[in-house]
């Protein structure tokens, strides 16, 4: 897959910052389910390879609100062992964390040998929401842009495999997803005041993302853009690409035959009435 070319500096603000809305029909559920199953199998194989080879893998998911990052992360982790595949989604930093070296609270979540960590947003908060919403100073933002590429090169030199994804969604599709969240009580929690504020700052977020790419889309640690107007295709494409980034072999254990259970006639179960059962409402 060829790396996305950088856009010219004088390109119109609201045109090149995000991938244009796709006219392709959304993928059908049955087609998606047929495609995701073999990818889940490959992810399990990859997990076993990471475990056996004691690799350390970091995958970063960034993008606009409602771009589908969380769904992609859940899909990747769905069949994996949480002991070896961890999801990191940090909240607002505490006052103590605000006084630390900026990268410090992320470093403690980096993987040990045999682990893969999926960052649902990451240190790139400083280049995005903090920049746009004024939660950091201009000097702090400039320092982040200087130090981030070197920080990532340090991670890579230490042996960490770093993969970065940007989920790109059109303004029309983002608006549709926001409205769907408002209409669904089970999804309404996903709309924070910050998300609603971001609606009115589309161009500001676009400029921040463009500046971030200019500084951090490096040869050693490139950004990979995922077209995300179709969530199903976005998940499939992201997983397929992730599998291609880490060469692995199939170490799946061979099928085992279960031996008959040993029976013990001397064992007597306690009375069922001694136990508390959940009411069978359904």
Task: Report domain extents, the chain.
Answer: 36-248
pLDDT values of the chain reduced to their tens digit, one per residue, 282 residues: 444 444 333 333 333 334 445 557 899 999 999 999 999 999 999 999 999 999 999 999 999 888 999 999 999 999 999 999 999 999 999 999 999 999 999 999 999 999 999 999 999 999 999 999 999 999 999 999 999 999 999 999 999 999 999 999 998 998 898 888 888 888 777 777 777 777 778 899 999 999 999 999 999 999 999 999 999 999 999 999 999 999 999 998 888 898 888 888 888 889 999 999 999 999
Predicted TM-score of the model (pTM): 0.85
Classify each residue of 25-36 as buried b or exposed e, where b means 16 or more C-beta atoms within 10 Å of its C-beta.
eebeeeebeebb
Distance of CA 113 to the CA centre of its chain: 20
CATH architecture, domain defined by 36-248: 3-Layer(aba) Sandwich (3.40)
Q: Distance between CA 93 and CA 99 in Å, rounded? A: 10
Please, what's the largest Cα pairwise distance for the chain? 83
pLDDT of residue 46: 98
In this structure, are residues 156 and 228 in contact, taking their beta carbons and an 8 Å threshold? no
Write the DSSP assignment of 181-227 as a string of letters. Answer: HHH-TTTGGG--HHHHHHHTTHHHHHHHHHHHHHHH--SSS-EEEEE
């799946």: which residue's tokens?
252
Q: Distance between CA 218 and CA 153 in Å, rounded? A: 10
pLDDT of residue 22: 54
């Amino acid at each position: 897959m060829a790396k996305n070319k950088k856009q010219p500096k004088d390109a119109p603000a609201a045109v090149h910052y995000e991938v244009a809305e796709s006219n392709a029909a959304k993928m059908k559920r049955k087609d998606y389910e047929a495609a995701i199953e073999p990818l889940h199998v490959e992810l399990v194989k990859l997990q076993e390879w990471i475990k056996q080879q004691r690799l350390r893998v970091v995958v970063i998911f960034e993008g606009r609100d409602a771009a589908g990052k969380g769904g992609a992360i859940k899909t990747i982790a769905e069949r994996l062992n949480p002991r070896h595949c961890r999801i990191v989604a940090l909240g607002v930093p505490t006052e103590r964390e605000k006084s630390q070296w900026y990268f410090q609270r992320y470093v403690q979540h980096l993987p040990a040998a045999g682990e893969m960590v999926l960052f649902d947003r990451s240190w790139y908060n400083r280049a995005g929401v903090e920049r746009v919403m004024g939660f950091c100073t201009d000097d702090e933002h400039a320092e982040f842009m200087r130090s981030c590429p070197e920080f990532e090169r340090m991670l890579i030199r230490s042996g960490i495999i770093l993969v970065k994804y940007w989920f790109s969604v059109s303004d029309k599709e983002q608006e549709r997803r926001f409205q769907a969240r408002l209409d669904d009580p089970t999804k309404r929690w996903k709309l924070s005041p910050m998300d609603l504020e971001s609606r009115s700052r589309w161009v500001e977020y676009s400029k921040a993302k463009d500046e971030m790419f200019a500084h951090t889309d490096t040869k050693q640690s490139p950004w990979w853009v995922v077209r995300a107007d179709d969530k199903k295709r976005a998940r499939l494409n992201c997983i397929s690409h992730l599998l291609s980034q880490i060469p692995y072999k199939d170490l799946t254990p061979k099928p085992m035959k279960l031996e008959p259970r040993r029976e013990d006639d001397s064992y007597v179960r306690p009375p069922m009435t001694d136990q508390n059962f959940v009411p069978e409402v359904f």
